[in-house]
Structure 1
Amino acid sequence: MYCQNHDDVGCGTCMAIDHRLCKDIFYLPEFLQINTCNTATREIQQKLDLVAKALTEHQEKFKRERERLLQSKTATLKNIKNFRKEINDRLDELEKNTVSDIEDKCKAFINETEESIRILETSKSSVKSARDKLASTGDNKLQNFVNIKKGKNIAGNAAKSVKASQLQTPFKDIDFTADHRLASLLEEINVFGKLEQMKVMRSENVGTVNICKNESLLQVKGSTQCSVKVRSDNRVCKIISACTLVDGTIILSNQYNKKLKRLDSSTYTVIDYCHLPGEPWQVCSINKQQAAVSLQAKREVQFISLSSKMALTNKMKTGFECRGLSYADGNLYISDYCLSVYTYSLSGEKLKQFSKDQSGQKLFSDIRSLAVSEDGSNIYVADRNNGLIILDNNGTVVGRFNGSQLEGAKGCYLTGRGSLLVCGCDSDNVLQFRLNGNLIGEVVKFDDIFASYQAICCNQQMSKMIIGTDRNEIEVYDLI
């Protein structure tokens, strides 16, 4: 049977079921007697060939995708293993530090105890000698008188030794109380980290998709203030820059007190700090062993070792006042006060310098901070007078924002999720931008208009936003 309405063939049963409402149904031999077939066999064959080719191509595509996914799985599992090793190494380091502390304290207590034993032993020996002399004097009144007087002095000194030793009691002991924050954290989490399913950009689609699914406006639900002042600070703590280290801790650039301060990632209290030879500006992470900070007046970049205690290592002289500083793709990106952004190798070789736009106009006026994409393709410059300026790695301006919503651009921070945060000192806010410079919206409006807000970064989980002030404290915002 043939259904002319649907241009389909089938047996009588199929027609009765699937085409019962169709009017133009014919017995196929009769239909062919009065109609000729208009569709050539060659044309149908070509369609079938094209469809077969498309099916094969898509099948191969999904096979390649399966292989890529398996490779991705292998790489991800390797990363988990490496992360576990880092945790083990850190735990070994914590154990070593704890054991070392115990050894040092125990050694001090033992030395103190042994000194008391030595003093008492000396007194005991003197008392025994005095008693023996008294017992052996006999009838010699002169010698007996001398021994009695000496014995009296020895007994007095020995009594003082006993009294002094009594004042040292109760005896010291060493006990260990575990830091329950670690155990609490382990109880709270079920996995090592967040597993995200990401869309892979195909080469044929690159440039057509520029909005990340995580680019929606960040929301804050509250904030806390944490003091970052330490006993040796002589001046107010003006936090001018902040960055997140590989281990999750936060490092702050304390300008007036010439220090870098390292914060615990959960309590945001100062756990370590180091003195600098000059006032610092922007600080950035290079890897898990090293960070760097720009020293404007010293005209240099100072490198910092990130062991259990931060320590100054080598430095890089630039010949200009260093302000903005960022690290990406093996290079350092450094800005001067108001003229240029430079690219340097870690060995100190100047690679590039960007000062003017395509029309020959000056790009910058008052550079406050830099942020650079992980592959070094885009450079984000926060300029207090000119707002946000985005350059590619050839110095071409690819984006700008200098609207009234952003006044006095200072700190900038790439979230790693397809957006950029910029702190407006004069507009008293934090704005969120897409990577092309388009404004997403205002994340937070600060209440204290008299405070200076400049430093900005987020924790690794993007659940906290840290803002530095000039009031001896930082503000930690909870992000939704």
Structure 2
Amino acid sequence: MASSGVVGNTSEETFDMLCSACKEQNINKEAEKYCVDCRDYYCSECLKLHSTLPALKGHKLLGKEAGQSGQLLMVPTERCERHDFKTVDMFCQNHDQIGCGTCIAVDHRTCQDVFYIPEFLKSRANVIPEFLQRMKNIENKFKEFLKTFSDEIDDLKANKQREIETINTFAKKLEDKIKEAQRDAISKVEERYNKIMTKINRDIDNIKREQETFETTKSFIESTVMNNSQAFVAMKLNGNKIATTEAASDVIAKIKLGRRVHFTLDPKFEEISKERMCLGYVNIMPYSFEYKRAADIKLNSDTKSCGVNGSCVLPDGSILFADRSNKNLKLVDGFALTVIDHHDLKTKPWDVCCLDDKEVGVCLDNENKVKIFKVDQKLFYKYELSFSFSCRGISYCDNTLYISDSKSIYMCSLDGSILKTFASNFTSSSIYNIFVSKQSNSIFVSDGSIGKGVICLSSEGNISQIISNEIKWPHGFATAYDGKVFACGFWSDNVILLNEKGEFENVVIGKGLSSPQALCFNCQNGFLYIPKNDNDSVLIFELE
């Protein structure tokens, strides 16, 4: 028989398995059992001691062959915490739960598919490898995640550097332009200064010449004063010279001095210098918004819940809301989100848009009018334009007003003259709002017809895109960055993003808007304002 090892012992017998405890004492004794928990072999004598110790009584004992034959891998060693640390060696397939024999007897006595775990695994050799492979797959996924996110950091750093370089390049161009303008201004100052200096120096030279002539004549006459007769002759001979010099002095005395060079800043640059300069806007693509809070825009004089049909953001960041329910315009501070002024219209407004020079236009569909207001911390009524059609949607681009009724779009000058009309072949009398892209001159139309959505027209009025699957019953529009456009859906309760050609890009807000009818976007702080329908609050979302 093969010995399990050379042992210093008086016994000459050899055994297949030696008692681990005896072996430690150089005693050569044959093992009877293998303890799974101790991972040791025990002879019959040591086994008695092992069985009497309370801490070892619950250990799993197997035949001595288990330690070598590989049977150990099929024997559970986990103890049950519910039942005196019995071995967890049973499996209920019906409930996919494991437990000790007592657990199975108590909790799964009616279950049909209950197995002793070692026996269960004999016929399902792939269970453990598959689980190990599953863990390996998870491990590989996390390694891939770490690599992907690490690569993302590298790409983000490169992206950051590119954007900073873009800013620096633009700032350098701006700096070069300013320096060029500075050189031109200095050159003009120098030119004007040199002209004045040339004239003054010419006058000084003339004065010196006249002075020299006078001094020569004066010296000659003074040299003859000892002889009155000669002095009289000298006086008469040089009288004309003295008279000429005297006349020259009168002319010189009339020369006006005090001219100074003065530089006047161009009003456009003076206006820029008063305000905080902004090179551009920082945004994260694709657009992602986070809800911030709601702001109350109800006035004490309002008799109904606010129902905003149109809104726009002014250059100073303030916001104008056209409250159809209460027949007024509300001017809201874009940062404090408080109403700072309002104007009672006496009739229901529909849409509103920003014009140039701090002006806004608001459509009054029931009166066939567009009223123009100047906005400077307050609303100042200026004038109104009257038309033969009901004024609903309004937009402004390149000194031209675009106004729609329910079925057509009219291009108008600022004095109300109609320049061009787009016929109603693109909608069935259901236009709500319109928007014109300054980048592409595309015209966006919110069509309330069943099955229609946002219609994008070319500058000639031809249909280029129809977006109907991603938005239902669209209403308001708002300009985004890079010529892109936001549109809100009343039925779909969402906000979508379209590019300047009218192509759908993505849904930026997908729920919780309470049937929006208007929205506006502040490019300065990345805030999107969406009034709640028939409510007094405006939802505020911030660009992440």
| TM bucket normalised to smaller | 0.5 to 0.7
- State the one-letter code of the partner of 2:413: S
Q: Which amino acid aligns with 1:458?
A: F
Q: How far apart, CA to CA, are the structure 2 residues paired with 1:475 and 1:325?
A: 23
How many angstroms apart in 1 are the aligned matches of 2:171 and 2:530?
Answer: 40
Match of 2:376 among 292, 307, 318: 307
Shift of 1:307: 3.2
The equivalent position to 2:338 in structure 1, one of 269, 272, 275, is 269
Letter in 2 for 1:424: G
Whether the 8 Å contact between 1:382 and 1:409 is mirrored in structure 2 is: yes
Q: Deviations 1:34-82 (Å, cap 9, x if unpaired)?
A: xxxxxxxxxxxxxxxxxxxxxxxxxxxxxxxx9998578527998x997
How far the C-alpha of 1:377 sits from its partner, in A, is 2.0
- Residue 453 of structure 2 aligns with an amino acid whose one-letter code is G
Alignment correspondent of 2:386? 317
Deviates more, 1:375-384 or 1:328-337: 375-384
1:346 to 414, 420, 427: 414
Please state how far the C-alpha of 1:436 moved relative to its aligned partner.
2.0
Question: d(CA) in 2 for partners of 1:437 and 1:445?
Answer: 19
Aligned equivalent of 2:361: 292
Alpha-carbon distance between aligned partners in 1 of 2:336 and 2:304, rounded to the nearest angstrom: 23
CA distance in 1, matches of 2:280, 2:268: 14
Could you say which structure has the greater relative contact order, defined with CA pairs below 8 angstroms and 6 or more residues apart? 1
Q: 2:311 aligns with which of 242, 249, 252?
A: 242
Rounded Cα–Cα distance in structure 2 between residues aligned with 1:414 and 1:76: 33
* Distance in 2 of aligned mates of 1:465 and 1:67: 27
Q: How many residues align?
A: 290
- In structure 2, do the counterparts of structure 1 residues 67 and 301 end up closer, same or farther at CA, with 3 Å as the change threshold? closer
CA deviation string 1:275-315 (max 9, x = no partner): 11311011111123311100010111111121342122211
SS of the counterpart of 2:454?
strand
Is the CA contact (8 Å cut-off) linking 2:442 and 2:501 kept in structure 1? no
Deviation at 1:352, TM superposition (A): 0.9
1:329-368 deviation per Cα after TM superposition (whole angstroms, max 9, x unaligned): 001000002x101100111110111124xxxx44343111
Match runs of 1:119-134 below 5 Å: none
Q: 1:362 to 1:84 in 2, by over 3 A?
A: closer
Structure 1: give runs of 5+ residues left out of the alignment: 1-65, 91-190, 198-213
Aligned counterpart for 2:492 among listed residues 427, 438, 444: 427
Normalised by the length of structure 2, the TM-score is: 0.49
2:468 maps to which of 386, 402, 411: 402
Report the CA distance between 1:218 and its aligned residue. Answer: 1.0
Separation of aligned partners in 1, 2:423 and 2:302: 37
Q: Where does residue 277 of structure 2 map in the other structure?
A: 192
Q: What do you get for the CA RMSD once the two structures are aligned?
A: 3.0
Does the Cα contact within 8 Å between 1:240 and 1:253 map onto a contact in 2? yes
Looking at structure 1, the residues matched to 339 and 485 of structure 2 have their Cα atoms a distance apart, in angstroms, of 27
Question: How many angstroms apart in 1 are the aligned matches of 2:526 and 2:439?
Answer: 24
Q: Give yes or no for contact 1:300–1:315 (8 Å, CA) kept in 2.
A: yes
Q: Secondary structure at the match of 1:297?
A: helix
Query: Cα–Cα, structure 1 residues 83 and 242, in superposed 2: closer, same or farther, change >3 Å?
Result: farther
Given the superposition, is the C-alpha separation of residues 76 and 282 from structure 1 closer, same or farther in structure 2, using an over 3 Å criterion?
farther
2:450 paired with 1:382: no
From 504, 515, 521, the counterpart of 1:452:
515
Q: Which residue of 1 aligns with 2:524?
A: 461
Does the CA-based 8 Å contact 1:282-1:293 persist in structure 2? yes
For residue 287 of structure 1, give the secondary structure of its aligned residue in structure 2.
coil
Counterpart code for 2:436: V
Does the 8 Å CA contact 2:281/2:523 hold for their aligned counterparts?
Answer: no
Going from structure 1 to structure 2, the CA distance change for 1:354 and 1:471 (only over 3 Å counts) comes to: same
**Distance verdict in 2 for CA 1:69–1:88, change over 3 Å:** closer
Q: 1:372 to 1:67 in 2, by over 3 A?
A: closer
Contact 1:281/1:323 (<8 A) preserved: yes
* SS in structure 1 of the partner of residue 367 of structure 2: coil
| Cα gap change, 1:81 to 1:431, in 2 (>3 Å) | farther
Quote the residue 1:23 is aligned against.
none
Equivalent in the alignment of 1:471: 535
Which whole-Å CA distance do the structure 2 matches of 1:288 and 1:224 have between them? 31
- CA offsets 1:387-431 (integer angstroms, 9 cap, x no match): 11111221111222111x211111111214232111011001001
Q: Is the 8 A contact 1:241 1:282 kept in 2?
A: yes
1:74 equivalent in alignment to 2:177: yes
Q: Which whole-Å CA distance do the structure 1 matches of 2:174 and 2:541 have between them?
A: 38
2:519–2:528 contact (8 Å) kept in structure 1: yes
Looking at structure 1, the residues matched to 292 and 170 of structure 2 have their Cα atoms a distance apart, in angstroms, of 45
Match for 2:483 among 418, 426, 445?
418
Q: Determine the C-alpha separation between the residues in 2 that align with 1:436 and 1:376.
A: 7
The structure 2 residue matched to 1:393, chosen from 459, 462, 469, is 459
**Structure 1 residue 216: Cα displacement:** 3.5
Distance 1:84 1:222, change over 3 A: farther
Alpha-carbon separation, structure 1, partners of 2:505 and 2:426? 27
Instruction: Choose 1 or 2 for highest CA Rg.
Output: 2
2:349 match: 280
The answer as to whether partners of 2:331 and 2:378 remain within 8 angstroms in 1 is no
Matched residue SS, 1:431: strand
Classify 1:266/1:462 alpha carbon distance in 2 versus 1 (closer, same or farther; 3 Å).
closer
Q: In 1, distance between residues paired with 2:454 and 2:536?
A: 28
* SS of equivalent to 2:177: helix
Q: Deviations over 1:179-234 (max 9, x none)?
A: xxxxxxxxxxxx7324479xxxxxxxxxxxxxxxx794311122311000011111
